[in-house]
Structure 1
């Protein structure tokens, strides 16, 4: 099986409601689609979202990175040299992790098809079903409470609540959400780097003193401030999950070695795909650090790849793969089944993606 063509396209999917964090507001998913065609007729699928405020990757940058750098490094090569292929993707250029992730997952898709096996079984096969949380965007407290009630009505029992815009309101936001959903629903919060270390400890302690029972806080301080995150981890009454601070296996290893966070978030778009995500998971297994699997605002192809990894590895104990259920439409055929909080991985060879609803992908070469 040799790669004969790298085909690029774009897909647009509206969200049910605008997605608001401390960093941005988004109303639709606008992603780059990758298809790796082969001489056997098999096609591997990948996807990359332009998340400039986190990864630095814009739509144009993703397209340029794949077309001008990554594609020439893999065209004409066979799947039998798989390790060299995935290494070539990572070495094709520096940074550009979303572009690398899209091509890397497409390669894993092809490998599974080549050997007629689902990717999650090839990687470990720990389970076939997982349960995700759902994100509550940062808004005025009463609006967040309403959104939280809606999520509970849809069957969710774990909410990831965005905070960080006007930090002095964050305690009121969480209090409103907790009152709306009751004591049995898990609440985890994501500050998206919005606080400084001492501010984080103060806000988190206030939340716990009010009995808001926060499961953990995601990335409370700026990504580069590992000392600040370590301070929060040591002094706050809420466990800390590192997210934007983790772009590579080396980043994850440094956090584990220094105790800068209690948990590590694995996102394919930040680490460059499944290949590097496996390295992070392996380090976590050695250090005994539980992981969450997360996503950006992504459609089903790339989140499906994250589902394959989550179903493969027991060290991934927390799931934040709500991208497809935040969308108002699903333009992708096949793959995992997203039934609100319940996600069931596909048992089809590779990653089970079968293509797209006609007319929903705009191919760049057409």
Structure 2
């Protein structure tokens, strides 16, 4: 079962509503899909999101990295040698984490198909259901309240509220959402690096004083400012989640050692795929640090791979895999079943797609 062909194509999915954060506004997903073929006719697929403001990648750079750099180093290798394949993918490029992630997903899809088992079972099989939050884009307070109420009506009990674009109005936004949805809905607040350390301490302190009940604050300051992250973490009671500050296992160790955050957000587009994501999860588990599994603006293809990883790992206690819920329709059939906030793993081999 050797890799014989590597193809790249465009996968598109319009969003139900524009996705707005402190970093960008997106109206439609345009990602890269990877299709690997083996000498016995098996197919494995993966997906890469060109999130230039976070990973630095574009559609063009993803296509080139996969076709011209990664493909030559994996062709001819048997899928049973999954560790060798992942190492080759990792070493052939310095960064390009999303390109690596897409190829790794397809490799793991084939690997699990070889052994005729769902991927999550081969990775650990801790559970077969997950509960995800859904993102509330940053807008004016009235629109965010309306979007929050609509999400609750759709059956979501965990909301990830985007802020950071207008620090002065962020307290009002979150307070209004809490008052509108009531005390039983879990609120996660994501600043997407939009605050300074002092702004973060002030805003979080005000929310704490008002008793708003926030589960966590994600990436309050710039990804490179671990001293600032530490400053915020030490001066607030609300747990701080590191996102853009952690791409690699080495960065995870640094964040934990410095006490720069209480929690870590793992995203396959940041880690370069499942193999490095697993290393970060192992580091976190060894240090008693709980993890979230997150995604960029991704379709069901790559979000399904992240769901398999999350379902296999006990240390992943929070799920932010709402990509399919933000899209008008799925670009592929099969895979885990996304129904509102519930993600149900299926028992088909690999990632479970009907291809």
TM-score of the superposition, structure 2-length normalised?
A: 0.99
Tell me which residue corresponds to 1:362.
Answer: none
Tell me which residue corresponds to 2:59.
Answer: 59
- Shift of residue 354 of structure 1? 2.1
The reply to whether residue 93 of structure 1 matches residue 93 of structure 2 is yes
> In structure 2, how many angstroms separate the alpha carbons of the residues matched to 1:354 and 1:52?
31
Tell me which residue corresponds to 1:206.
Answer: 206
> In structure 2, how many angstroms separate the alpha carbons of the residues matched to 1:337 and 1:132?
12
Match of 1:214, SS state, is: coil
Tell me which residue corresponds to 1:81.
Answer: 81
Post-superposition Cα deviations, 1:91-150, rounded to whole Å, max 9, x if no partner, equal 111110000000011111110000111110111100000000000000000000000000
> In structure 2, how many angstroms separate the alpha carbons of the residues matched to 1:82 and 1:220?
37
> In structure 2, how many angstroms separate the alpha carbons of the residues matched to 1:137 and 1:154?
16
Tell me which residue corresponds to 1:358.
Answer: none
> In structure 2, how many angstroms separate the alpha carbons of the residues matched to 1:81 and 1:274?
15
> In structure 2, how many angstroms separate the alpha carbons of the residues matched to 1:79 and 1:8?
19
> In structure 2, how many angstroms separate the alpha carbons of the residues matched to 1:82 and 1:133?
32
Post-superposition Cα deviations, 1:151-183, rounded to whole Å, max 9, x if no partner, equal 010011110000011100000100111111011
Tell me which residue corresponds to 2:2.
Answer: 2
> In structure 2, how many angstroms separate the alpha carbons of the residues matched to 1:239 and 1:148?
22
Tell me which residue corresponds to 2:304.
Answer: 304
Tell me which residue corresponds to 1:229.
Answer: 229
Tell me which residue corresponds to 1:24.
Answer: 24
> In structure 2, how many angstroms separate the alpha carbons of the residues matched to 1:260 and 1:208?
20
- Shift of residue 81 of structure 1? 2.0
Tell me which residue corresponds to 1:117.
Answer: 117
The reply to whether residue 185 of structure 1 matches residue 185 of structure 2 is yes
Post-superposition Cα deviations, 1:321-354, rounded to whole Å, max 9, x if no partner, equal 0000000111211100000100001211111122
- Shift of residue 270 of structure 1? 0.3
> In structure 1, how many angstroms separate the alpha carbons of the residues matched to 2:316 and 2:331?
28
> In structure 1, how many angstroms separate the alpha carbons of the residues matched to 2:331 and 2:93?
31
- Count of paired positions: 355
The reply to whether residue 70 of structure 1 matches residue 70 of structure 2 is yes
> In structure 2, how many angstroms separate the alpha carbons of the residues matched to 1:86 and 1:11?
24
> In structure 1, how many angstroms separate the alpha carbons of the residues matched to 2:122 and 2:148?
37
> In structure 2, how many angstroms separate the alpha carbons of the residues matched to 1:257 and 1:166?
31
Tell me which residue corresponds to 2:328.
Answer: 328
> In structure 2, how many angstroms separate the alpha carbons of the residues matched to 1:173 and 1:237?
20
Tell me which residue corresponds to 1:315.
Answer: 315
The reply to whether residue 267 of structure 1 matches residue 267 of structure 2 is yes
Tell me which residue corresponds to 2:168.
Answer: 168
Post-superposition Cα deviations, 1:226-257, rounded to whole Å, max 9, x if no partner, equal 01101111101211000000111111111112
TM-score of the superposition, structure 1-length normalised?
A: 0.96
> In structure 1, how many angstroms separate the alpha carbons of the residues matched to 2:118 and 2:44?
13
Tell me which residue corresponds to 1:337.
Answer: 337
> In structure 2, how many angstroms separate the alpha carbons of the residues matched to 1:122 and 1:327?
29
> In structure 2, how many angstroms separate the alpha carbons of the residues matched to 1:8 and 1:20?
28
> In structure 1, how many angstroms separate the alpha carbons of the residues matched to 2:330 and 2:104?
23
> In structure 2, how many angstroms separate the alpha carbons of the residues matched to 1:52 and 1:209?
37
Tell me which residue corresponds to 1:359.
Answer: none
- Shift of residue 82 of structure 1? 1.7
The reply to whether residue 37 of structure 1 matches residue 37 of structure 2 is yes
Tell me which residue corresponds to 1:141.
Answer: 141
**Cα RMSD between the aligned structures?**
0.7
> In structure 2, how many angstroms separate the alpha carbons of the residues matched to 1:342 and 1:256?
30
> In structure 2, how many angstroms separate the alpha carbons of the residues matched to 1:249 and 1:345?
27
Match of 2:53, SS state, is: coil
Q: Which runs of 5+ in 1 are unaligned?
A: 356-366
Tell me which residue corresponds to 2:13.
Answer: 13
